Amino acid sequence: MAAITDLSDLINRQSGGNSGTPNNLFYHKVPRVAGVAATVPVAGRGCSLWTYDGMPAGGAVPTVAAIPDRTTTGAIPFTAATGGRDLHLIGASITPLTAGVYLLYDRLFHIGGLAGNSTADQTVQGGTPTPALTRNTGGAGNMAWYEIYTIVGTTSTTLTMTYTNQAGTAAQTSNIFFGATGAREVTRAQRIPLAAGDTGIQAIEKVKLTATTGTLGNFGITIAQPLAWIPVGVAGTAGWRDYSTGLPGIPVINPDACLALMFIPSVATAPEVWGCIATVEK
Amino acid sequence: MALADFDAYVDALRLNRAADFQTTNIASSFSRSAAMWRFLLPAPAVPTASVALDKTSDNAIGPIPNATSGKLQILGGRFNTSGIAGVSAVAIDLLNVSGGLNGTVTTEQTTNLPTAALTRHTSGEGVMIGLVIYVSIGATATTVTVKYTNQAGTANRVSTATSFGGTGFRDVARLI
């Protein structure tokens, strides 16, 4: 991987020099899912925009464990770098109807069809990860969240995740609340903490609910590599991350990355989103 | 032509090749997209046919300087607004506009459609569709779908239904 040398190198590539292939990829999302008004999110709680309509079209609810990539419906499309070059993310912006903090991420793995009323072990990737991650396989920085696809029950319980950490240590466990108001609504995406000392995920073997929420519903588990947190303080204004001048540097986008969005809203309003990611190759 | 380095970038800034423009008060709904080009001065006409636009159109920000060689690079943009605390604007290449559609009809409408052939970005890759309200439509919220040809040349693709009419989706210049 070749690093951007300096500001002159960046400017040269941004303006099309040296096979920089600059690109501004615009996308938009509307607060509708499969043509129907989206469920109102919960202020201060994570919400997935994976299934939101727009350009790109909304992603499907996963029915089996799968590795989505840039060709999967729902992914923000981009052209992978060629000629042995990498694709560098140099800027990301979002202008939404709803203020909050937006996350641009690479959706590494997802599964749906899990039950909100089962207290048995529910397989995610299994003891021998199937399918195993194909991107950021070392696991460092990967995060997991549960994602509600059909509303689960009103009884609050605990979800325990069994996973392999970034060091390859299997059978690590952690847990998070699940079910009841604020943790049951469609599109709700709740990040699952990791065990003390862990900094990432290579695989998730299974999840298990301590008690039933009272409703089958449909939920899933998503593994993501965060790329950009984009804060938007006021609805209608642009949140902007300029990687050429600010931390955390200039991320490289995997050529197969499934770029997607989740967000934490300031208010309970489903967002309409305009966004853009800017890239150059080196 | 690419900018060689930081010094070349600064040199380009010094050329001060700006395209200044002004608008009248922009009718908008809070946090909803508005077709800003509708308010340029002088005001562009409401389209009565499907028109492939270029830099000479009354819908375009102008004057855009001619490039003697290579191509123009956007080095920056600035908006001075009044009467509003914050705003976001997207600079776009407006490829085509048409008008004359009806907000009370539930059958397929083809007035001024299909659109005139694109003259730029003809592959369609990355091209977006917007519905622009030229005269207010009704207060009843409904949905609209659009039939289009996608970037692969596949015709008769139908968009998912999206909001149309009702509060925030009916006013003049609303971009859906």
SS3 call for B94: coil
Residue A249 at interface with chain B, using a CB cutoff of 8 Å: no
Please tell me whether the interface predicted TM-score (ipTM) of this complex is above 0.85. Answer: no
Mean pLDDT of all residues in B3-14: 88
Q: Is B88 in contact with A274 (Cβ distance < 8 A)?
A: yes
Would you tell me how many other CB atoms lie within 10 Å of the CB of residue B78?
6
Q: Let me know if A176 is exposed, middle or buried by CB neighbors in 10 A (0-12, 13-18, 19+).
A: middle
Cβ pair A236:B31 closer than 8 A: yes
- Residues above pLDDT 90, as percent of chain B: 56
Q: Which pLDDT belongs to residue A246?
A: 63
> Do residue A236 and residue B86 have CB atoms under 8 angstroms apart?
yes
CA–centroid distance for A12 within its chain: 31
* pLDDT score of B66: 78
> What is the nearest CA distance from A276 to chain B, expressed in angstroms?
10
DSSP H or E segment with residue A165: strand A157-165
Both tokens of A251, joined, read 């991320």
Looking at the partner chain, which of A7, A26, A235 has a beta carbon nearest the beta carbon of B31? A235
By C-alpha distance, the chain B residue nearest A11 is B5
Contacts of A36 in chain B (CB under 8 A): 161
Q: How many helices (H) and strands (E) does chain B have?
A: 1, 6
Show residues of chain B in contact with A14, CB under 8 Å.
Answer: 3
Q: Which residues of B touch A34 (CB under 8 A)?
A: 160
CB proximity A55 to B under 8 Å:
yes
Inter-chain residue contact A35 with B5, CB threshold 8 Å: no
pLDDT at residue number A248: 60
Q: What is the pLDDT of residue B68?
A: 75
Contact A11 B30 (CB under 8 A): no
Q: Pick the residue from chain B with its C-alpha nearest to A52.
A: B160
Interface A–B counts its CB contacts (< 8 A) at 78
**Rounded-to-integer distance, Cα B127 and Cα B137, Å:** 26
Q: Which of B88, B121, B145 to mutate to test the interface with A (most CBs of A within 10 A)?
A: B88
Residues of A with CB below 8 A from B4's CB?
A: 8, 12, 17
Per DSSP, the residues of B128-149 read ----B-SS---SS-EEE--EE-
For residue B12, the surrounding DSSP H or E stretch is helix B6-14
Interface of A with B in 178-217 (CB under 8 A): none
- Nearest residue to B18 via CA among B95, B68, B75: B75
* pLDDT confidence of residue B11: 87
Low-confidence ranges of chain A (pLDDT < 70): 246-248
Could B2 and A17 be called an inter-chain contact, meaning their C-beta atoms sit closer than 8 Å?
yes
Note whether A194 and A174 are within 8 A (CB): yes
**Residue B154 predicted with pLDDT over 90:** yes
Contacts of B146 in chain A (CB under 8 A): none
Task: Give the model's pLDDT for residue B79.
Answer: 79
Any alpha helices (H) in chain A, and if so which ranges? 7-14
Q: How far apart are CA A264 and CA A278, in angstroms?
A: 23
Evaluate the omega torsion of the peptide bond into residue B114 and state whether it is cis, within 30 degrees of 0.
yes
Q: What is the pLDDT of residues B22-74, one digit of tens each?
A: 888 877 777 788 898 998 988 899 999 999 999 899 999 887 777 777 778 88
| Average pLDDT along chain B | 89
Cβ contact A37:A31 at 8 Å: yes
| Chain B residues closer than 8 Å to A91 by CB | none
**Predicted pLDDT of residue B69:** 75
Rounded to 5°, angle at Cα A28 from B49 and B37: 40
Q: Which residues of A touch B3 (CB under 8 A)?
A: 11-12, 14-15, 17
Q: Do B6 and A55 touch (CB under 8 A)?
A: no
How far is the CA of A14 from the CAs of A76, A97, A274, in angstroms? 21, 30, 22
CA dist A206 and A163 (Å) reads 7
For residue B78, the chain A residues in CB contact (below 8 A) are none
Point out the residue among B1, B88, B143 whose CB comes nearest to the CB of A35: B143
